[in-house]
Structure 1
Amino acid sequence: MAEFTSAVFQNEFLPDGGTDVNAIVTIRCTGAGEAGRTGRGDAGEIVVVDTSGSMGVTNMQAAKQAAMVALDNILDGTYFAVVAGNHKAYLAYPIVQTGAGMVRMDANTRAEAKRAISFFRAEGGTAMGTWLNLCRALFDSIGNLGNKHVILLTDGENHNETPTQLDQAIRASVGQFQVDARGIGVDWKVAEIRKIAQALLGSVDIIGDPSRLSAEFASLMRNSMARGVANADLRVWIPQGAQVMFIRQVSPSVEDLTHRGVPVNQLTMSYPTGAWADEERDYHIAVRLAAKTVGQEQLAARVQLAVGAELLTQGLVKAKWSADTNLTAQINPEVAHYTGQAELAQVIQEGLAAKAAGDEATATTKLGRAVQLATETGNAEATAKLRKVVDISDARTGTVRLRKAVDKADEMALDTASTKTTRIRG
């Protein structure tokens, strides 16, 4: 049975009249087990392959092979389906017209699904909203599914439907299933795919080399199969009169949960975190309290992890008002680290957007600040990716020059990795 533990990192001391409390709450899960085998419902997996004409021969062959490898990593007994997506969404396997749109994985269904994938060919346009809508219908056709996960691959922009249609499909899918999205090549929009992945509690990344696709799909599917906790929520209680400034996941990636809260009661909000494997995640909780005077104490927030109605762990965020400036002036190192990481993600995305718009001055300023933050927070991966986009004169001060010739894949890799964070603790 899965066990959750939590720890709180903060400076709980506020000056006389101070109001704002910041804390990093670390939640760890152990003993998660395997997806669909915890007694909380079966697991369901859908592999969506872009079969639009732009995929071409090389990418299409790599995608077919990767989809088959993904099937090899689905645990027997798991419900699954394969979708081919272009300007429409097609249920490639199982081949049914009505009723259940997914079947359980075994040796026979795995072989049949691979045969269906082998017939994929590149033709038509791209309408990812229809792909999401079909996935939702397929999951709905099976009752009692706990874990519901999609691997989605695309190589191009969403040309064959309006942005509104895609947004509607995303909104209808929120809370219904999770999506890990991957883009192959350089002709797709990072912002478009990130919008899908973030809304559906998944990840986004670029696969520049088609030969890497099979290993990536295998890893994604193994990770999904390790998520034995189907769905968990972060519950945050604050006292009467207090205000949540923001709730962010800050590790392993930056995800703003602030506007995704659902009321549990008058003082408690519930924020979705999706499925869990054996892992550790960090959350930045920022609360504004009513000002108090020296000597007073208050519980600023109670942060809990819940699976269904069961509360499995909690951390307490505290506030103490003090006249000792040696105490109140300290910035907790965990809070400082993740504040920098969140800003890093923002300035990378803003800098690349400015560069694409031809605003070199803003791009230089933003990406220079990104280099400075990556250096300060020890984010070596971000620094390495930034070096492919800018020439760094002084990392400490963020003095950089935009490189004249930059591979588009390197820019997209920096963009997709912008929200990935480093841990401050071992």
Structure 2
Amino acid sequence: LRAALDSCAGRFTCDARGVGTDWEVKEVTGIAAALLGTADIVADPAGLAADFTSMMENAMGKEVADVALRLWTPVGVEIRFVKQVAPTVADLTGRRTEAGPRAGDYPTGSWGDESRDYHVCVLVPEAGIGQEMLAARVSLILPDTSGAGAPQTLSQGLVRAVWTDDMVASTSINPQVAHYTGQAELAQVIQQGLDARKSGDFDGATAKLGRAVQLASASGNQDTAKLLSKVVDVVDAATGTVRLKAKVAEADEMTLETRSTKTVRVK
């Protein structure tokens, strides 16, 4: 499967669906991630027609294809990661293709009338107090499919690095960064909790899923909170105190795992 996905990546996008419960979540989500599509579960086959209609409407609403997130960095700057954080969490770091001196493209697939959020982390060299530098330039690029012209820049933003001895400025975390860091952790601890539950590590599962409940509550991610409530009994959402349910429907567990990467935007 991995070899097939590698050969198809970049050629087309694909939305993946698991019907019923006789399938592996990681296979379906892996297909969607590799081919820049969506993944979901249709637990009741009777809902397949409605889900397919929704998928087709979404696909028909796409206006531009093969959009890339281009990241340029000056000499001395190291890229730590590039992630999509809304509407879903997706790590694009390892999917970079070179796009000229100091620049690389990260695939984002097809776009319609929508907005997405990305989290970029770079490491800059040391400098003196009061100095400032351009740490990165981020652009959305639409390639010229004819090969005759230059790619079209759809939008662009600059990332500045400023050195300061102001403790408040240097230690405070941007609210958006804090929010999406929490959403990425939410997706991670759900996966870890479900894996622990499947392996019989019930204490580990309780701890991880309790943390997931806490993060979902704090960020206002009500959809994920509802899915979690089908796997654990919530004693105190604010502190992440939960009890594993004795019996969990397989469809409920698979739905939580499949949709764990969906995020909510900053309020």
Which range, TM-score by smaller chain? over 0.9
User: How much has 1:266 moved relative to structure 2?
Assistant: 2.9
Match of 2:256 among 389, 408, 414: 414
Offset of 1:168 from its aligned partner? Answer: 1.3
Higher relative CO (CA 8 A, sep ≥ 6), structure 1 or 2?
1
Alignment of 1:322 onto 2:161: no
Q: Which residue of 2 aligns with 1:333?
A: 175
Alignment of 1:184-199 (within 5 A): 184-199=19-34
Query: Superposition pairs for residues 260-409 of structure 1, below 5 Å?
Result: 260-308=95-143, 309-409=151-251
CA distance in 1, matches of 2:227, 2:47: 18
Name the TM-score, length of structure 2 as normaliser. 0.95
Deviation at 1:330, TM superposition (A): 1.5
Between the aligned partners of 1:259 and 1:167, the Cα distance in structure 2 is 15
SS at match of 2:239: coil
Q: Secondary structure at the match of 1:194?
A: helix
Match of 1:14 in 2: none
Deviation track 1:187-246 (CA, whole Å, cap 9, x = no partner) reads 111011111110000111111122211111011001101111022100001121111111
* Structure index of larger Rg: 1
Whether 1:168 and 2:3 are equivalent positions in the alignment is yes
Q: Deviations over 1:104-141 (max 9, x none)?
A: xxxxxxxxxxxxxxxxxxxxxxxxxxxxxxxxxxxxxx
Letter in 2 for 1:230: A
Identity across matched positions, percent? 52
Find the aligned partners of 2:65 and 2:257 in 1 and give their Cα distance. Answer: 29
**What amino acid sits opposite 2:172 in the alignment?**
Q
Give the partner amino acid of 1:403. Answer: K
2:46 counterpart of 1:204 = no
Unaligned runs of 5+ in 2: 144-150
Q: Which moved more, 1:403-412 or 1:390-399?
A: 390-399
Identify, as 1 or 2, the structure richer in strand.
Answer: 1
Give 1:256's aligned residue.
91
Cα distance, 1:362 vs. partner? 1.2
Given the alignment, which residue of 71, 74, 82 partners 1:239? 74
Give the aligned residue type for 1:207. V
- For each residue in 1:285-325, what CA deviation from the matched residue of structure 2 results, as whole angstroms up to 9, or x when unmatched? 11111122210001111100000111121011111111111
Please tell me the residue identity of whatever aligns with 2:129: V
Q: TM-score, normalised by structure 1?
A: 0.60
CA distance, structure 2, for counterparts of residue 265 and residue 365 of structure 1: 46
Match of 2:14 in 1: 179
How many Å apart are 1:341 and its aligned residue?
Answer: 0.4
Which amino acid counterpart does residue 190 of structure 1 have in structure 2?
Answer: V
Partner of 2:64: 229
CA distance in 1, matches of 2:56, 2:152: 28
Unaligned ranges ≥5, structure 1: 1-165
Moved over 4 A (4+): none
Cα deviation 1:73-120 (Å, max 9, x = unaligned): xxxxxxxxxxxxxxxxxxxxxxxxxxxxxxxxxxxxxxxxxxxxxxxx
Give the partner amino acid of 1:173: C
- Report the Cα distance in structure 2 between the residues aligned to 1:385 and 1:233, rounded to whole angstroms: 33
Secondary structure at the residue paired with 1:311?
Answer: strand
CA RMSD of aligned residues (A): 0.9
